[in-house]
């Protein structure tokens, strides 16, 4: 079954299959209704650009059957309001939800600076095909078709991003974590990733879709 992938702003994406919808990381930089219509919501970590409680609540309230899978630091903030609908996961866990099969990979956020304490972070491999690493360059130890690639962050540089793609070896990448990347810089990133990463490079505008 083909998955339809829709890019939302910054780190958020929607995956649709067989009439069901999975949303990853509806954060503060994403659209206010980014999680509305979701059957499954996944959050990689607690930073505001990935986790916004109002956006999360909007999604869970719009669909009383929708459920959230996330790590403990996020689950503890919202589980009381949605009893039985919030599930805590960590590295190595697997689960199925609304027809999607999900594997959890990773444990820690990338190092921002040695003086900044590291927080927990998990990535999600959906249907053995699409991988969202959150804010880490996690190797999923699994063949990946579409890598949702965090292209620009305070914790990364372009050489690390390129080498990450080379290590994962996906068929293609789709840019995420690009909300801070200016229009002036985008062609530079596009050229370097396209020429050096070894994978097909794709950049979608918010609202654009592709088959995954």
- Residue pLDDT tens, the chain, 212 long: 789 999 999 999 999 999 999 999 999 999 999 999 999 999 999 999 999 999 999 999 999 999 999 999 999 999 999 999 999 999 999 999 999 999 999 999 999 999 999 999 999 999 999 999 999 999 998 999 999 999 999 999 999 999 999 999 999 999 999 999 999 999 999 999 999 999 999 999 999 999 98
pTM attached to this predicted model: 0.97
Cβ neighbours for 164, distance < 8 A, ≥ 6 positions apart: 137, 149
With CA atoms as reference, report the closest residue to 59 among 42, 84, 71.
42
Strands 130-132 and 13-17: unpaired
**Cα→Cα distances 151→58, 128, 186, 189, 198, Å:** 28, 22, 10, 8, 15
Tokens describing residue 99: 């027809």
Domain architecture of the chain: domains with CATH: 4-148 (3.60.15.10)
């Amino acid at each position: 079954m083909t998955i339809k992938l829709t890019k939302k702003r910054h780190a958020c994406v929607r995956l649709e299959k067989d009439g069901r919808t999975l949303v990853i990381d509806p954060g503060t930089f994403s659209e206010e209704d980014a999680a509305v219509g979701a059957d499954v919501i996944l959050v990689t970590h607690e930073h505001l650009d990935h986790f916004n409680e109002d956006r999360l609540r909007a999604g869970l309230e719009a669909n009383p059957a929708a459920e959230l899978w996330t790590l403990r630091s996020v689950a503890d903030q919202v589980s009381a309001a949605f009893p039985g609908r919030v599930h805590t996961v960590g590295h190595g866990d697997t689960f199925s939800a609304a027809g999607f099969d999900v594997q959890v990979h990773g444990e820690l956020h990338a190092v921002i600076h040695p003086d900044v304490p590291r927080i927990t972070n998990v990535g999600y491999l959906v249907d053995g095909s699409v991988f969202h690493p959150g804010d880490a360059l996690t190797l999923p130890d699994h063949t990946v078709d579409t890598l949702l690639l965090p292209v620009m962050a305070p914790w990364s540089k372009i050489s690390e991003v390129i080498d990450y793609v080379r290590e994962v070896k996906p068929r293609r990448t789709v840019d995420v974590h690009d909300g801070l990347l200016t229009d002036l810089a985008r062609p530079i990133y596009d050229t370097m990733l396209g020429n050096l990463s070894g994978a097909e490079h794709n950049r979608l505008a918010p609202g654009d879709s592709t088959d995954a």
